[in-house]
């Protein structure tokens, strides 16, 4: 078993090597909008999982994730060679590319938070003009001596029986 710290360092190095190779050395147009977000290496240092996202060409277009996945699969051998040359480990890890779902999850969470804020605003607006259903002051005032009752006394005391 390898040291977990060593696995983290190797994952960080693989992340850098793969991102640099995709950006500068691989000339596949399908990989033009691919961003490497994270890499994880197993404890035995034999398998590396690389997470990526794909951005659209402009803000309105949907990213072509299938084409990016095909481009990464085609470039896997070249990228593994680059990783082997750049890390210097005895066994070059196999590379597995996984589409990162964190941006989609974050976008969904932002939409849910916006919906909750809108519902809170609607409740606040309804509460602003609302009046209580009963008395304005539902709490009874303490009796005073001027009400016909002794101060501090109770109308139904056991002494009156």
What CATH number should be reported for the domain holding residue 43? 3.30.300.20
| 55, 56, 62, 63 from 59: Cα distances, Å | 9, 7, 8, 10
Question: C-alpha angle with apex 102: 101 to 103, nearest 5 degrees?
Answer: 95
Question: What's the pTM value of the predicted model, to 2 decimals?
Answer: 0.66
Domain count, the chain: 1
| 34, 64, 102, 129 from 13: Cα distances, Å | 18, 27, 21, 60
Domain assignment present for 116: no
Domain assignment present for 45: yes
pLDDT for residue 117 is more than 90: yes
Domain assignment present for 159: no
Q: Which domain holds residue 25?
A: 4-100
Place of tokens 């606040």: 124
For residue 88, report the phi and psi dihedrals to the nearest 5 degrees.
Answer: 75, 20
For residue range 24-64, list pLDDT tens digits in order: 999 988 898 899 999 999 999 999 999 999 987 766 677 88
Domain assignment present for 66: yes
Domain assignment present for 122: no
Domain assignment present for 145: no
């Amino acid at each position: 078993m390898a040291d977990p710290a060593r696995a983290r360092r190797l994952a960080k190095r693989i992340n850098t090597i793969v991102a640099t190779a995709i950006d500068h050395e691989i000339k596949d147009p399908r990989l033009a909008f691919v961003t490497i977000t994270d890499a994880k290496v197993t404890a035995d240092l034999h398998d590396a999982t690389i997470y990526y996202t794909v951005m659209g060409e402009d803000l309105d277009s949907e990213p072509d994730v299938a084409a990016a996945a095909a481009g990464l699969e085609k470039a896997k051998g070249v990228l593994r060679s680059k990783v082997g040359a750049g890390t210097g480990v005895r066994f070059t890890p196999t590379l597995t590319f996984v589409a990162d779902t964190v941006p989609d999850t974050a976008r969904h969470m932002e939409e849910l938070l916006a919906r909750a804020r809108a519902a809170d605003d609607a409740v606040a607006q309804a509460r602003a003009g609302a009046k209580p259903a009963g008395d304005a002051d539902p709490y009874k005032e303490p009796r005073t001596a001027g009400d016909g009752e002794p101060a501090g006394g109770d109308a139904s005391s056991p002494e009156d029986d």
